[in-house]
Chains A and B, each alone.
Chain A
Amino acid sequence: MYLSALLRAQLRLSLAILLGIAVVVLGLPTLFVLAPATRDVHIGSIPLPWLAVGVLIYPVVFIAARIYVHQSERIEREFSDLMRQQ
């Protein structure tokens, strides 16, 4: 029964991170579809889609992965503490 709690906590964390990534990765094409003007925005001389998809997206997903690793280790630490108290 402790296992179900662990599983639920880990799954909730995974789904939250997945949702965050989906918002960024699937959200960008959606933004370009719904607001075509964003395709022509230039930052310096680089068009926004090139900058966002070609460069900025990488640090964002790395940070998401980092948050996941820290949080899942925290969940496991709490689970370990709980088991040791038994």
Chain B
Amino acid sequence: MTIAQAGVLAIALVCAVTLGAGALGLRISRTTSDFYVAGRSVSAAWNASAIGGEYLSAASFLGIAGLVYALGADMLWFPVGYTVGYVILLVLVAAPLRRSGAYTLPDFAEARLESRRVRALASLLVVGIGWLYLLPQFQGAGIALSTVTGAPPALGSLIVAVVVLANVTAGGMRSITLVQAMQYWLKLTAISVPAFVLLALWWQSGAPAPAVAGTGGADWAEALSGFGGREHPVYATYSTILALCFGTMGLPHVLVRFYTNPDGRAARRTTLVVVGLLGLFYLFTPVYGVLGRVYLPTLPAGRRSDSVTLLLPSIVAPGTLGTVLSAVLAGGAFAAFLSTASGLTISVAGVVDQDFLARTIGRRAGGDVPRIRTFRLAAAVAVAVPYAASWLAVNTSLADTVGLAFAVAASTFCPVLVLGVWWRRLSVAGATAGLVTGGVLALTATTVTVLAGPSAVGGGWPGALLAQPAAWTVPTAFVVAVIVSYATRGSVPVGTARTMVRLHVPENLRSGTRMPHAE
């Protein structure tokens, strides 16, 4: 069996299992509330696996190895940031967000700030960040399929788009919880087993040192030297850490998972397990980047560094073993694209459905359109736009595009969530100003970087500030939200005191009811 055949087999298997589990979920989920949040009856271990499964994306499975391979030691901060993001989320917002009882980020914004306008703004941002994050999933699928089989990249993207759409429209979130939990363990196996085998073979052959030729010499292995050859590696390191740590809580597909916890306490315990599961996974990804330097000092023509994980096995272990390992990694990579893309699609579709489609269609049809049908239409929209965009933008690396999504999330939702949970004086005008300022600054910086490159503004500090904007856009958004809130004390929501009680008081003490699911 050739690598191409084995790879196709593994990818087909992952797609089939995903669709099969989705169909199983369809039989269980019957009502609309099940459809959205799995009836809130998912246990902490399942939930944590599902969160891990959904979170570990193309950037994690292929992108980190590609970055470490290309740029060296500083890139180790990416997986650290992805993990610490959950600790920050845990410490600042996990339990209060679950206690808010809302389904989505716009739901939370509306509940806390009692404003339809803030809700609309939040909805727009969810869709924008979701699309920005879906784009690299489709690109990654294209890279993976073409690396393993030589098929055109557009085919891999199409497969992921179709499978995700079929699964999301068929089963909703119940099936997704089951599928996602399974995906985590699948991905951990797919990344760790080949890593152990490759490390053993490397050790057996006398543990040759990484070849650093063509990477700027000895700098590759040294901290704070590379960061993509950027001019201010120290600033870039700090700004990236900040974006990843504070962006996680503002990602659309991350928050919706918290509503499947029975209460705030369970939300915390789930998050703790997530931190452990992610840390475990990220121990293995840099191995591929380092071994890539040992065995594959120069990439074959036409290959991106994102494909190093998939290229490695056939070089280290030619023959059957290499073929099997390649197939396992290709399958794992597809699991990563499918699970993250499914989670994002659910979240984006939920917002498109609730805030844009259901109202418009309902009005036209006299208000009698089944919710499931508008949700399916919304899912099609949620997938189609980034799929089309994946044809256009092909030159940014996977982890870079994902980094941009984090920077935008950190500059917009993070200030509103943190201030909303902890600060009673946050006003509607303050939250709006924070969202708009952070959104405009981060989106402008990322757009300029992606379209023109940092050199367009003359390199140096302006280039560094635009390429890694979080270090200045996040504090700016916070400061603007606070100053405007102080200036507009009249627009503090009237129900703030009541909302704060709801966010912070344990469920078993809620007055009037002893039931944790009272909302």
Contacts and interface: CB of A to CB of B under 8 A. Distances in A.
A59 B241 contact: no
B80 A33 contact: no
A21 B84 contact: yes
B84 A61 contact: yes
B87 A61 contact: yes
Interface of A, helix, strand, loop or mixed by DSSP:
helix
Contact of B268 (A26, A49, A50, A72): A72
B87 A26 contact: no
B422 A76 contact: no
B269 A3 contact: no
Contacts of B406: none
B505 interface: yes
A62 B501 contact: no
The bracket for how many chain B residues form the interface is 35 or more
Interface of B, helix, strand, loop or mixed by DSSP:
helix
B265 A76 contact: yes
B84 A62 contact: no
B73 A47 contact: yes
Contacts of B422: 7, 11
B295 interface: no
Interface in A46-86: 47, 49-50, 53-55, 57-59, 61-62, 64-66, 68-69, 72-73, 76, 79-80, 83
A64 B87 contact: yes
Interface string A23-40: 001100100110000011
Interface string B181-218: 00000000000000000000000000100000000000
A81 to B, nearest CB: 11
Given A17-B91, A53-B73, A80 B275 contact: no
Contacts of A58: 80, 83, 279-280, 282-283
Contact of A21 (B87, B224, B237): B87
A72 B500 CA distance: 17
28 contacts: A6-B505, A7-B422, A21-B88, A26-B241, A29-B237, A32-B223, A47-B223, A49-B76, A50-B76, A50-B221, A53-B76, A53-B77, A54-B76, A54-B283, A58-B83, A58-B280, A61-B83, A61-B84, A64-B87, A65-B271, A65-B272, A68-B268, A69-B90, A69-B268, A69-B272, A72-B95, A80-B508, A83-B509
Given A61-B84, A61-B279, 16 more contacts: A3-B505, A7-B504, A18-B91, A21-B87, A25-B80, A29-B234, A47-B73, A47-B221, A47-B222, A50-B221, A57-B80, A58-B80, A59-B279, A65-B86, A72-B95, A80-B508
Closest 9 CB pairs of A and B: A58-B279, A49-B223, A53-B76, A32-B223, A14-B91, A76-B506, A65-B275, A54-B76, A65-B87
